[in-house]
Amino acid sequence: MPSAVAAAEARRSARAGIAWMVFATLLFVTQDAVARVLVKSFPVAEVAWARFAVHFAIAAVLLGLRSPRLMVSARPGLQLVRSGLLLSVTLLSTTALGILPFVDLAAIVNVTPVLVTLLSIPMLGEKVGWRRGMAVAAGFAGAMLIVGPASGMFQWAVLLPLASATAYAFYQIVTRQLQASDPTMTTFFYTSSVGTLVCSAALPFVWVTPDLVSAALMALLGSLGAFSHFCMIRAFTAAPAATVAPFNYTTLVWAALCAVVLFGEVPAATTIAGALMIVASGVYIVYREQRRVRVGA
């Protein structure tokens, strides 16, 4: 009887984790859509500042009300490195949003789990067998399928999401390293710290005064950034990573809908094929990781 209760609770937790992850991906894509609108009229640094400053303010208020002690990190240096990596991700992807098709960008950035697997070998000391190695190769092949047919105007621009995916992979690796030393909410607080400081320093040199609508969009952008990370934290708290991680690929569903409905872009056949290869490789990597942990091999 207790085992049946535990199994039912595990299923409820899994459903909750999946729901949080799907909602997080919707918020991430909505955030990108808002950033794409803003970057047409405002400098990238100003758009990034809005994203980080509002996030930082929300995190500071939440922790100030709940427990100011959570603002103190056991590894502040590593927290700042992680926050700096997120700044790189944001600047690269925001720049790319003004150049590349919406779905192409989302698909290429989703190669991140493949890169995390590759980087886990030197940085986390993990072993990657030939099966996961083949999945890594398939993920890269999918990304190259999307990148390959790009026109001459886009050939240099596709480096932006690839660089963003690489920075985000390092970001996730560092996040794993911090799990043993800092509470989740401490990491949430530090997430936007470097971005807020750096973009605030750059703001006087690039500032364009927004009207009321643009200011509201900037506030929305920062709020989406904060709550999307909060939802992802809840997802990984409610259920094991192997359960919720594959649902990160719902990003591509939301991105395709936004591309068609908001921007009038229809994904190319090569983009769809490449995205499917990236998704298949990522899901298989998660499956192999789950199996490795379960059998200890």
Q: Which of 38-52, 110-124, 134-148, 263-277 has the highest mean pLDDT?
A: 38-52
287: buried, middle or exposed (CB in 10 Å: 19+, 13-18, 0-12)?
Answer: middle
18 token code pair = 């999946």
Model confidence, pTM: 0.81
Residue 123, pLDDT score: 64
DSSP letter, residue 249: G
Average pLDDT of the chain to the nearest whole number? 82
- Over residues 201-240, the pLDDT tens digits come to 999 999 999 999 999 999 999 999 989 888 887 887 777 6
- Over residues 96-122, the pLDDT tens digits come to 988 888 888 888 887 776 776 666 666
Q: Lowest-confidence range among 49-63, 126-140, 181-195, 204-218?
A: 126-140
Cα four-point dihedral sign 279, 16, 242, 31: positive
What band does 152 get if pLDDT is binned at 50, 70 and 90? very low
Give the total number of structural domains in the chain: 1
CB burial readout 53-86, b (16+ within 10 A) else e: bbbbbbbbebbeeeeeebeebebeebbebbbbbb
Neighbours of 252 (CB within 10 A): 23
Q: Lowest-confidence range among 121-125, 197-201, 265-269, 284-288?
A: 121-125
What is the Cα–Cα distance from 84 to 49, expressed in whole angstroms?
13
Q: By residue range, what is the domain housing residue 98?
A: 2-295
